[in-house]
Amino acid sequence: MKIKSRFPKLIFFLAFAVVVLAVLGCALLAGPAIQSDTVEEPVINEASGLASSIKTPGLLYTHNDSGGEAAVYVLNKRALMPAVIVLEGVKNRDWEDIATCIDPKDSKPYVYVGDIGDNNAKHASSYIYRFEEPEILDTLITISKIDKIEFIYEDGPRDAEALFMDPLSGDIYVISKREENCGIYRLPYPQSFSETMVAKRVGQLPYSWVVAADISPSGKHILVKTYTNIYLYTRGRGQNVAEALSTKGKVMPYKLEPQGEAVAFDEKGKGYFTISERLGETPVELYYYK
């Protein structure tokens, strides 16, 4: 009587298992897919803010910081610049972040530019400029109808580089930069365009050097960026933004940039972008994390 050996089947099974583990290992080592594109436009040399368009999904808004042109640069996802939006009658004292949000009252999409930089914490007040998102039908767009939100901090002047709007409430949130535990400040909706508002401190983060932040279109996820890390916060049912930011943030993939001061969710809140200032001969890169 012949006895069939089980060794061939065992060897096949072990070989198959090794292949599967190797594939999984490579996938884990590879990490998330990162798309990188060089921004060729020389005018974008100190990018310090980034936001996804609501009106034209797939486009992004960025700007330069202190002393730059009072202009918002429109980029597509491959870092090409189809248009420039010039803000008439507005000065770029120290623009540090940009955001988009639908106004809860009129249901129109707006762009918010944060003139919130204050390296020496000496400005009497800070400003946020708001304008309705335009149709991108030309390479040069001039905006003359601009709302100005002037505000002070309840605990005195401070430097800030992070700004976002809560899509669920319309509230504006600003995060300070230089404290050991960066402060979270809130400007409640509806914001005033005629009187100086007071930004109330509603929380703090357990780290310093916050340079950018964004919230997903659903309002369920928040990204906070420092020079070295990006943290993701998940907002639970019934939580406000301050409560969500009091939980432990998840460290997200991030390729260190020479001077990375911007982060933005994509239009679906599925991935996120970063962009850096130009440093010497190092080109400006637009990164997309899928």
pLDDT value at 3 more than 50: no
Report which residue type is found at 142.
T
pLDDT beyond 70 at 8: no
Q: For 58-107, write each residue's pLDDT tens digit.
A: 999 999 999 889 999 999 999 999 999 999 999 999 999 999 999 999 99
Domain that holds residue 137: 36-289
Please report whether residue 82 resides in a domain: yes
- Classify residue 285: in a domain, yes or no: yes
Whether 278 is covered by a domain: the verdict is yes
- Give residue 280's pLDDT: 84
pLDDT digits (tens, 9 = 90+) for 243-265: 999 999 999 999 999 999 999 99
Which CATH number covers residue 93? Answer: 2.115.10
Does the residue 28 lie in any domain?
no
Say if residues 193 and 219 touch (Cβ distance below 8 Å). no
pLDDT, the chain, mean: 91
> What's the confidence (pLDDT) of residue 209?
98
Say if residue 147 is exposed, middle or buried (CB neighbours under 10 Å; 0-12, 13-18, 19+). Answer: middle
Instruction: Please tell me whether residue 27 adopts helix, strand or coil conformation.
Output: helix
pLDDT value at position 31? 58
- For the stretch 171-208, pLDDT in tens is 999 999 999 999 999 999 999 999 999 999 999 999 99
Q: Is 245 helix (H, G, I), strand (E, B) or coil?
A: helix
pTM above 0.75, yes or no: yes
Is the residue at 11 inside a domain? no
Averaged pLDDT for residues 218-238: 98
| Contact by Cβ (8 Å): 111, 131 | yes
Edge-first strand order for the sheet with 272-276 is 34-39, 284-289, 272-276, 260-265
Give a yes or no: residue 22 inside a domain: no
Give which of 167, 181, 256, 178 is closest to 214, Cα–Cα.
167
Classify residue 198 as exposed, middle or buried by CB count within 10 Å of its CB (0-12, 13-18, 19+).
exposed
Number of domains the chain contains: 1
Asked if residue 103 belongs to a domain, the reply is yes
For the chain, what is the radius of gyration of the CA atoms? Answer: 22
Across the range 130-134, mean pLDDT stands at 98
